Structure 1
Amino acid sequence: MNPYEQKRRWKFLLLAFAVVIAAASLWYSYYLVKNIALSERTRAQVWAISTKKIVEIEDTNDEFLTYIYSVRDSLTMPAIVTDERDSIIYWKGLDSTRTNIPQEANLSIESPLVHRKMYDPAYFKQQLEEMKSQHLPIVITLDNGQKWFVFYKDSLLLTQLRVFPYIQLTVIAIFLLVAYTVFSSSRRSEQNLVWVGMAKETAHQLGTPISSLMAWIELLKEKFNADNDPLILEMENDVKRLEMVADRFSKIGSKAVLQSHPVFGVVEDYVTYFKVRASDKISFIVTGDREVEAMMNIPLFDWVIENLLKNAVNAIEGEGKIEVKVIENLVKEQVFIDVIDSGKGIPRMKFETIFQPGYTTRKRGWGLGLSLTRRIVENYHKGEIFVKDSEPGRGTTMRIILKSSTRYEPTTT
């Protein structure tokens, strides 16, 4: 398993563990809410029974009545008692500032329970509707056959307990998201510093042996009078390529100088250089618009084409074809460079994964080629690169999008 796949698996495991914790927290909160709600229902039923007893006891001096009053008054939840016509008979635990405004209550039943207070009909209606939506009423059947209905709503504690887990999980999620963003940004910054440092150190280390090789080639030419010897010329070309590679590394982390170049010519020149170093079983072709230009840094953009061509060659087993197509999009004033191969293809679920650092399907691969390619295209050329189309067994099309020269606006990287 490559490092990226392992990293992604750990992310899934941690995410699954977080989901289990959240689910367990919500389940336990639901368990507590359910039990507290059952307890409150029981207390409401006891309160309803005590209310009925108060109505039925005619002797107001009965000592038992005092006890029943104390039981009834022990209820902590807001409650309303109504008759069959929804006329309010008694209430408890409501907002006192809304029960004492100058409007006569609609009191239809005479009893010791009736509160002769002024109240706000709209407020009581709203409270009654809310209670009806929360719980079924507790029915009190009086001796005369008349029915009263006791409505109640959740206590403040139960209401808070219902919503607290969601608030808690939301706060934790926001905190983790912010922390992850900060640490990811910090880690990315550190990675960029390491990347730039390694690139510049590589360029520095390559400088001395490349200079020596160039000197040795000049000595060979002079000693054997072989200025036009094809082998020495190829050696000279490869040393120049090494010099260009060192130059590429030295440009990482620096502001790239972009100039307008004909895209077709730049791509064709590099494909011509590359194909003589690839298998004879693979044919290369460059097609498309020859005149369209884009702002490019040729050494860096050659690196992009090189990585894409290498991946295309590695994807072809045996004979195959690689086509690089240059297309001008006049509507959006963009240039498309499509690298099309007849290789083994990429599964759709891997379209983004292949650009992650460390991802590779080769035993000796580092998994940095396409990551570096995306960095060069997006950070230095302000373009886009993505898998346009691919299907296992039928090849892949990689697309690069650059701004045409007429749309270019200087930017600082």
Structure 2
Amino acid sequence: MNPYEQKRRWKFLLLAFAIVIGAVSIWYSNYLVKGISSAERTRAEVWAISNKKIFEITDINDEYITFVYSIRDSLSVPAIVVDERDSIIYWKGLDSTKTNYTLEAENNLESPLYTRKSYDPAYFKAQLTEMKSQHPPIIISLQDGTKWAVYYKDSSLLTQLRVFPTIQLTVIGIFLIIAYLVFSSSRRSEQDLVWVGLAKETAHQLGTPISSLMAWTELIKSKFDAEEDPLVLEMENDIKRLEMVADRFSKIGSKPVLQSHVVFTVIEDYLNYFRVRASDKISFIISGDKQVEALLNIPLFDWVIENLLKNAVNAIEGTGKIEIRITENLAKGQVFIDVSDTGKGIPRMKFETVFQPGYTTRKRGWGLGLSLTKRIIENYHKGQIYVKDSEYGKGTTFRIILKSS
């Protein structure tokens, strides 16, 4: 199995596992909330009945009255009793700083609850509205046929328990995201160090044999008078090619010098070199703006074009066409380079994966070409590269975006 496919599956499994944990946590919290909410409603119903009993007391019995009042005072959640006109009769557990009132004595001893009270109407209205939105009322039917409604709201403990899972999962999620970003950054830094070290070591190792080959070529030319020998000329071309490869590797990890070049000319020069080394069944076309300039480092940019052309050639089975089109976006100061082929195409879900190190569809491929291409364009040229379009069986278009000069 492809390591990136395996990595993607593990991500989905871990995500699914995290979702299950979160769902179970929320479900259990809701289970506890329902249990506490049911218990609070039961206490509110008992409290409502105690208020009714106090109003209906006809036989003065101190112990009974004390018992009923103790039940009424035992309620731990805020509650309000209203009559049929929503006039407040009694309340419990509200903010004492906003419920100060004065009692005016009445002669009606049979209605001790009906004392006139002075309070903040806006505060009570807001509390009553909140209570109505949380729970249906508990109805008390009195002996004279009138009905009272008891409204109550959740206790602070229940309110905190309702929001606790959300806060908990949010904090855990933020922590995991931060940890992921930190570890990803650290991993990328390590990969960059390994990548740069390997590139520079490769350039260093190539230096010695290249110098030897150059010396041997000069010796052959002088000893056998082979200045114009075709074989010697081809050897010199290959040595120059090796020098260019070593120069490319030596520039990895260093800040390259970007200079203004005509994009069409740079690509055309490399295409002329590449065309004779590709299959005769593949045609190459370069079109577009021939004058637009961009900031380039030619050895590194040639490497980008080489990787894209090699991938395009490998994607074409038999006869095909590779086209490079250059356009300029004057409004944004950008140069667009589209490299299109008539190959087998790339699935849409692989548009990002193809740029990851190690990803390849070839049995003997290393999967580093497009990864290196992306690094050269984005890190060294401060541009962009992505799969603009691809259709299975019809071909693929890569787009490079560079800064115009």
Describe the shift of the 1:221–1:36 C-alpha distance in structure 2 as closer, same or farther (beyond 3 A).
same
Q: Give the match's secondary structure for 1:283.
A: strand
In structure 2, what residue type is equivalent to 1:343? Answer: G
C-alpha deviation, 1:114, in angstroms: 4.4
Describe the shift of the 1:349–1:109 C-alpha distance in structure 2 as closer, same or farther (beyond 3 A).
farther
Q: Structure 2 matches for 1:91-106, cutoff 5 A?
A: 91-100=91-100
Alpha-carbon separation, structure 2, partners of 1:121 and 1:313: 82
- Tell me the equivalent position of 1:399: 399
- Tell me the equivalent position of 2:20: 20
- Tell me the equivalent position of 1:366: 366
TM-score normalised according to structure 1 size:
0.93
- Tell me the equivalent position of 2:307: 307
- Tell me the equivalent position of 1:205: 205
TM-score normalised according to structure 2 size:
0.95
Alpha-carbon separation, structure 1, partners of 2:227 and 2:259: 33
Alpha-carbon separation, structure 1, partners of 2:146 and 2:276: 103
Alpha-carbon separation, structure 1, partners of 2:110 and 2:198: 92
Greater mean alpha carbon deviation, residues 371-380 or residues 230-239: 230-239
Aligned: 1:336 with 2:329: no
Alpha-carbon separation, structure 1, partners of 2:96 and 2:60: 27
In structure 1, what residue type is equivalent to 2:159? Answer: T
In structure 2, what residue type is equivalent to 1:304? Answer: V
- Tell me the equivalent position of 1:71: 71
Alpha-carbon separation, structure 1, partners of 2:113 and 2:159: 28
Q: Give the match's secondary structure for 2:335.
A: strand
- Tell me the equivalent position of 2:276: 276
Q: Give the match's secondary structure for 1:191.
A: helix
In structure 1, what residue type is equivalent to 2:78? Answer: P
Q: Deviations over 1:330-373 (max 9, x none)?
A: 33332221111110011122211211222211222222211111
- Tell me the equivalent position of 1:352: 352
- Tell me the equivalent position of 1:43: 43
Q: Give the match's secondary structure for 1:226.
A: coil
- Tell me the equivalent position of 1:191: 191
C-alpha deviation, 1:285, in angstroms: 2.2
Count of equivalent residues: 402
Query: Gapped runs of 5+ residues in structure 2?
Result: none
Alpha-carbon separation, structure 1, partners of 2:139 and 2:102: 31
- Tell me the equivalent position of 1:222: 222
C-alpha deviation, 1:50, in angstroms: 1.5
Q: Segments of 4+ in structure 1 off by > 3 A?
A: 101-104, 113-118
- Tell me the equivalent position of 2:134: 134
Query: Gapped runs of 5+ residues in structure 1?
Result: 406-413
- Preserved CA contact (<8 Å) 2:103 2:116: no
Q: Percent identity?
A: 78
In structure 1, what residue type is equivalent to 2:154? Answer: D
Alpha-carbon separation, structure 2, partners of 1:157 and 1:112: 33
Alpha-carbon separation, structure 1, partners of 2:20 and 2:336: 46
Q: Deviations over 1:114-151 (max 9, x none)?
A: 46543211100100010000001000000111101100
Greater mean alpha carbon deviation, residues 373-382 or residues 225-234: 225-234
- Tell me the equivalent position of 1:111: 111
In structure 1, what residue type is equivalent to 2:32? Answer: L
Q: Structure 2 matches for 1:216-295, cutoff 5 A?
A: 216-295=216-295
Greater mean alpha carbon deviation, residues 246-255 or residues 66-75: 66-75
Alpha-carbon separation, structure 1, partners of 2:353 and 2:284: 27
Greater mean alpha carbon deviation, residues 305-314 or residues 382-391: 382-391
In structure 1, what residue type is equivalent to 2:120? Answer: D
- Tell me the equivalent position of 1:380: 380
- Preserved CA contact (<8 Å) 1:90 1:113: yes
Q: Give the match's secondary structure for 1:310.
A: helix
Greater mean alpha carbon deviation, residues 349-358 or residues 122-131: 349-358
C-alpha deviation, 1:53, in angstroms: 1.3
Aligned: 1:181 with 2:187: no
